[in-house]
Each structure stands twice: as C-alpha cells, then as structure tokens.
C-alpha cells in the first residue's frame, strides 16, 4: 500500500480521501516547519502533500529514497526544487484550478479598493474624521483594464472586467485570437498594454522572463495615473520602481497581495497613500482551501494507485481513463528505447519518434518521455519518464516527433530512429490485443518478435550456416536458446537474429561469437518484462 505524508495543514476531508482510495496517510501538519525531523522521516514515504510551509529542497529530495510524487495544494510551487525533483524522477503536482476564482475575485476587490481608496477612507472614518473631499475616487466603468497573463486566473479577471463594462486588453504569448474573441478582450503586445491601460492586473508565473516585468522603464511608458494590481507573484514588480512611481504621481495607486520577500513584515510600500496591501490572501477563502486540498488528495491517490497523472509540472498528464489503454504503449515505447540504448555505444545526436495510426491519437508526450527513458537507461540506471526529457536536453539530443495516419497493416505502431555521428538505427513495434509489446521491424527488416528478458541481437550477411554457427557456439558453451527469430531484407542481403535466452549471455561466449568473421555484430539485451 502506498504511503503519503501530509506535512502541512489539509482538511480532514482531504485526508479521508487518501484513506478511502487505498493510500496509507500520516497527517503531521507541523512537520513541515521542522526541517531536521522532516529530513529524517521522508525516506518512508511514496508521496508528500504540502501547502506553502514545507520547503522541498534538494537536500530533502536527496533523502527521499522512495518518494514518487510531491503534491502542492495550491498553484505556486516556489517552495519545491523542481529541477532536483525531476532529476530524481519525482513528479511535482499542483492544483491550478482550485483557487482560480478566489484569486481572481481578490484582484477585482483590490481594483475597487484602489479605485475608491476604500481602506484609507475606512480608517479615517473609524477615527472619527469626516474627510469626504479627501477621498476622490475614479469609476471603473469605461476604463481600460490591462491583463498580463490570460490563463486560468487572468481569463476570469478579464471576464469580470468585461462584465463591469471595462475595455479589456490582454497580453499573453499563448493567447489565441479565437480565445481572445471568446473572452471579449483585445489581444495586444505588452508595450501597447502599458500605453493604454488605466488599470493593470498581473496574472503570470514568475520566471526569468517575467521577473520585474513592471520595471522603472515599463512604468515610464504607462499612462499618468495608472493603477497596478498584483495578486500573482512577488518579483513581477520591481518594488523600488513602484515606490518611485507612486511618489512621483505617475502611478495613482496599487493593490499588492504578494511581495518580493515574504512574510513581508517591513516594506517601503507600507503606509504609502493609496497603496492597499494584503498578506498573500489571493487563495484565502474557505472554499478555495477546501477545494485545493481535496484536489491534491485525489490527484496523488490517482497517481499512486492507478498511474494517472494530472496537473503535473514536470510530467505529461495521463488521465485515469486513458491510463489502462496507454500503459501497454508506454511499455512498448520504453522497450524500443531500451533496445536502441543497449546497442548504441556512440553519443546520440538526433532522435525521431514516429507515431503511426492509432498511436498518433494517443498521449504522445507521455510516449515520448517513455521512449527517452528507455534510451538513456542503459547509461543512467535511475532515469525515468520525469527525468528523461531533461537528461536528453542536457545531452544536446535533437528530438523530433512525427504523427501520421495509418500507413500499413497495423492499426498503430511506434518507430524510433536514432542518429549518431556514424550511423542511423531504426526499430518499430506495436502492441497486439494481449497488451504485450512486439518488435515488427529492426534495421528496416520486417519481423514479428516478442520481447524477452534476456536476448541476443546479431547482424550478419544473409548466407548459409548462420543458424548452425549460432547453435554450435551456444551449444558447446552450455548456453540454452529458448527461442529465436530471424529476418532479412532480401536474399543475400542483410540479416538479423534475435535469440531468447534463459540467462544473460556469457561475456566470454560473446567474445567468441564476435570474433567469427561471419558475424558483423552481436549485442546482449536485457528487458524488464515484469510490468
């Protein structure tokens, strides 16, 4: 039974979901604050469920010998070392949809609060003052709202803006014209958004590209009296530049829920006129907290029990519905990669994966990851579907993926082509109704061969006596051949043989075989056929 540690506070409902789905769970919500205790305990667990308090560092990941998945109840995964997790093959999941409405509503609330100076007016009135003329606001209706990042949360803010009779302009490199039209917004470049917007609301992740996207230079290009809202991530705004803009009057107000340094107990933005600050409350509603807790429990359970992957940061998603159908082809892709990885001794330069027929309609991202894992595993034993794409990229491998309609007798198959500096290798395979992977083409030679745990692959000119040669060398050295498959491209052309063995092929016998002039090459193969 898989075992999960919950090291931050989650709802009792979420904890019960783990139990109901066959996962053993330890609920220790204070453990995330104790680095040493967490470090000592983490090796026992298959899964770790967290919020923001637990820091999943490289040191913690190194101690997590059994860890398969980290689940973050929320959107942000700043507290997880994703590259370190990926290198160890640990899936990192979040819940990008559970608090989307809550965060969007908070952004809109801050926009109203800044437009009408509500917090300052409230404090003044509570103090017994009646400063009606001091708090002159601006209307929302008819103003231009600039939304930077039009994903889950940004699109909700955009729709709310349209509902408030604002003109909404949006910048997002991934926003299509069709989606913009559906939302009722105008897609623009960032420079145009800065120049036109009366209100700017940020809804983009913090990356090297987006860090300080609101800079002194950006503020200089904005309209006088612009109001800026950030409920996304601290670091998107250069806070010193914002302070300067507020002091100069270029920026009329700001609503800030996230800060460069959190917890933010001291900040120059505090106590500035018409700056509304909240302590990272974007996702802080009872509904959102419950939603993300339940979602992460369901996602982690589905992965640990069924192999389904959803909302993963570093792994292609695999739904619970497609997992049973996809599983045999993931195994096939891995086997094809393992074959080529074992027979290739030179550095791989290019990898092409062709999906023909039914396989082209499958989740090919998962199949590509499985193929790469198989390719790299002969050199790096602990590689898996999470870490393989990263390792391939680090090695400078050029990867291409091709999809095409059914072109042969098989409903669907996968063909792998790997190029090195001196040669090109190809192999293709499919799965029959029994779900077992089969080789259907090697080196351009058609055949129908099962996958065995221990095999020997040989290449040779098509000439009489090869079968006898293989049999005699194996026989005199007590190597039992359980089965074999042969193939050739034409009479007298190139031929291959696959020998199925009861145990690994002995190294000394392999050397004897390779020394024979009738054998071009001989490669021992081993496949994990247990699952």
What is the structure's pLDDT at 382? 61
Q: Name the token pair of 495.
A: 């031929």
- pLDDT at 96 exceeding the cut of 70: yes
| Within-domain flag for 380 | yes
Check if 280 is active-site.
yes
**H-type helices in 226-322, by residue range?**
239-248, 286-306
Q: For the ranges 88-92, 98-102, 243-247, 464-468, which has the lowest average pLDDT?
A: 98-102
Contact (Cβ atoms closer than 8 angstroms) between residue 48 and residue 25: no
Express each pLDDT in 158-172 by its tens digit: 999 999 999 999 999
Cβ neighbour number for residue 164 with a 10 Å cutoff: 17
- Contacts of residue 294, Cβ cutoff 8 Å, sequence gap at least 6: 11, 13, 14, 17, 98
Contact (Cβ atoms closer than 8 angstroms) between residue 408 and residue 398: no
| Within-domain flag for 282 | no
Mark whether 133 and 268 lie in a shared domain. yes
φ, ψ of residue 241 to 5 degrees: the values are -65, -40
| Within-domain flag for 311 | no
Return the residue matching tokens 């300067």.
244
Reduced to 3 states, what is the DSSP secondary structure of residue 234? Answer: coil
pLDDT band at 237 (very low <50, low <70, confident <90, very high): very high
- pLDDT at 154 exceeding the cut of 90: yes
**More confident position, 97 or 311:** 311
Express each pLDDT in 509-525 by its tens digit: 999 999 999 999 999 99
Q: For the ranges 39-43, 124-128, 204-208, 223-227, which has the lowest average pLDDT?
A: 204-208
Q: How far is CA 147 from CA 102, 203, 387, in A?
A: 17, 7, 34
What domain count does the chain have?
A: 4
Mark whether 148 and 204 lie in a shared domain. yes
What is the structure's pLDDT at 385? 82
Mark whether 77 and 128 lie in a shared domain. no
- pLDDT at 139 exceeding the cut of 60: yes
What is the structure's pLDDT at 206? 83
| Within-domain flag for 123 | yes
Q: For the ranges 88-97, 365-374, 446-455, which has the lowest average pLDDT?
A: 88-97
Q: Which domain holds residue 164?
A: 100-277
Q: Residue 61: which CATH number?
A: 3.40.50.720
- pLDDT at 272 exceeding the cut of 90: yes
The residue annotated as part of the active site, out of 262, 350, 394, 511, is: 262
Mark whether 79 and 146 lie in a shared domain. no
- pLDDT at 377 exceeding the cut of 90: no
| Within-domain flag for 332 | yes
Stated as kind and residue range, the H or E segment containing 328 is helix 323-343
Task: Report the predicted TM-score, pTM, of the whole model to 2 decimal places.
Answer: 0.60
What is the structure's pLDDT at 386? 78
Mark whether 366 and 466 lie in a shared domain. no
What is the structure's pLDDT at 384? 74
Rounded average pLDDT over 311-320: 80
- pLDDT at 118 exceeding the cut of 60: yes
Mark whether 410 and 459 lie in a shared domain. no
What is the structure's pLDDT at 529? 74
Q: For the ranges 10-14, 179-183, 369-373, 386-390, which has the lowest average pLDDT?
A: 386-390
- pLDDT at 176 exceeding the cut of 80: yes
How far is Cα 61 from Cα 83, in angstroms, rounded to an integer? 10
Region of 33 (left: φ > 0; alpha: ψ -120 to 50; beta: rest) is: alpha
Check if 106 is active-site.
no
Rounded average pLDDT over 301-321: 84
Q: Residue 504: which CATH number?
A: 3.30.70.260
Rounded average pLDDT over 443-460: 94
Express each pLDDT in 390-415 by its tens digit: 788 878 899 999 999 998 889 999 99
Express each pLDDT in 319-370 by its tens digit: 777 888 898 999 999 999 999 999 998 889 999 999 999 999 998 989 999 9
Check if 262 is active-site.
yes
| Within-domain flag for 477 | yes
What is the structure's pLDDT at 530? 61
**More confident position, 98 or 324:** 324
What is the structure's pLDDT at 75? 77
Mark whether 293 and 357 lie in a shared domain. no
Mark whether 445 and 458 lie in a shared domain. no
| Within-domain flag for 369 | yes
Query: 521: closest CA among 503, 489, 496?
Result: 496
Mark whether 174 and 89 lie in a shared domain. no
Mark whether 387 and 436 lie in a shared domain. yes
Mark whether 205 and 297 lie in a shared domain. no
- pLDDT at 76 exceeding the cut of 80: no
Q: Name the token pair of 500.
A: 């199925």
pLDDT band at 304 (very low <50, low <70, confident <90, very high): very high
Q: Residue 376: which CATH number?
A: 3.30.1330.90
The residue annotated as part of the active site, out of 196, 227, 233, 415, is: 233
| Within-domain flag for 47 | yes
Q: Name the token pair of 186.
A: 């105008």
What is the structure's pLDDT at 86? 85
- pLDDT at 531 exceeding the cut of 60: no
The residue annotated as part of the active site, out of 87, 196, 280, 438, is: 280
Percent over 90 (pLDDT), the chain? 75
């Amino acid at each position: 039974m898989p075992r999960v540690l919950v090291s931050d506070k989650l709802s009792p409902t979420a904890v019960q979901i783990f139990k109901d789905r066959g996962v053993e769970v330890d609920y220790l919500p204070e453990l995330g604050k104790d680095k040493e205790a967490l470090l000592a305990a983490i090796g026992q667990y298959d899964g770790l469920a967290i919020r923001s308090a637990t820091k999943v560092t490289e040191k913690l990941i190194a101690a997590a010998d059994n860890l398969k998945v980290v689940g973050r109840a929320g959107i942000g995964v700043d507290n997880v070392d994703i590259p370190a997790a990926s290198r160890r093959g640990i899936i990192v999941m979040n819940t990008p949809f559970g608090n989307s409405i809550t965060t969007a509503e908070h952004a809109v609330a801050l926009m109203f609060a800044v437009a009408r100076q509500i917090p300052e007016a409230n404090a003044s009135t509570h103090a017994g003052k009646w400063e009606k003329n001091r708090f002159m606001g601006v209307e929302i209706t008819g103003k231009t709202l600039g939304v930077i990042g039009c994903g889950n949360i940004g699109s909700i803010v955009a729709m709310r803006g349209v509902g408030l009779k604002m003109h909404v302009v949006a910048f997002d490199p991934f926003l299509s014209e069709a989606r913009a039209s559906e939302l009722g917004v105008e897609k623009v470049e960032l420079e145009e958004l800065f120049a036109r917007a009366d209100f700017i609301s940020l809804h983009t992740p913090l990356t090297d590209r987006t860090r300080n996207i609101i800079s002194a230079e950006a503020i200089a290009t904005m309209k006088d009296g612009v109001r800026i809202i950030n409920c996304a991530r601290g670091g998107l705004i250069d806070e010193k530049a914002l302070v300067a803009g507020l002091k100069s009057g270029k920026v009329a107000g700001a609503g800030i829920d996230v800060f460069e340094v959190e917890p933010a107990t001291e900040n120059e933005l505090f106590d500035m006129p018409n700056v509304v600050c909240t302590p990272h409350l974007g996702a802080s509603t009872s509904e959102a907290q419950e939603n993300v807790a339940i979602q992460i429990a369901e996602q982690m359970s589905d992965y640990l029990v069924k192999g389904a992957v959803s909302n993963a940061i570093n792994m292609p998603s695999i739904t619970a519905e497609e997992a049973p159908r996809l599983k045999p082809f993931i195994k096939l892709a891995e086997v094809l990669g393992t074959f080529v990885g074992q027979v290739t001794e030179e550095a791989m330069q290019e990898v092409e994966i062709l999906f023909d027929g039914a396989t082209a309609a499958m989740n090919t991202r998962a199949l590509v990851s499985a193929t790469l894992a198989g390719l790299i595993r002969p050199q790096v034993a602990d590689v898996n579907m999470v870490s393989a794409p990263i390792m391939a990229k680090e090695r400078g491998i050029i990867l291409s993926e091709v999809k095409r309609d059914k072109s042969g007798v098989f409903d669907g198959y996968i063909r792998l082509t790997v190029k090195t500096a001196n040669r090109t290798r190809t192999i293709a395979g499919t799965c029959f109704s029994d779900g077992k992977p089969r080789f259907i083409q090697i080196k351009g030679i058609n055949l129908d061969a099962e996958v065995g745990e221990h095999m020997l692959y040989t290449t040779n000119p098509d000439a009489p006596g090869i079968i006898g040669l293989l049999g005699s060398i194996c026989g005199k050295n007590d190597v039992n051949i359980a089965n074999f498959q042969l193939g050739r491209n034409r009479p007298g052309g190139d031929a291959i043989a696959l020998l199925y063995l009861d145990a690994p092929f002995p190294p000394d016998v392999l050397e004897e075989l390779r020394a024979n002039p009738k054998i071009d090459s001989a490669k021992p193969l081993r496949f994990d056929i247990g699952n």
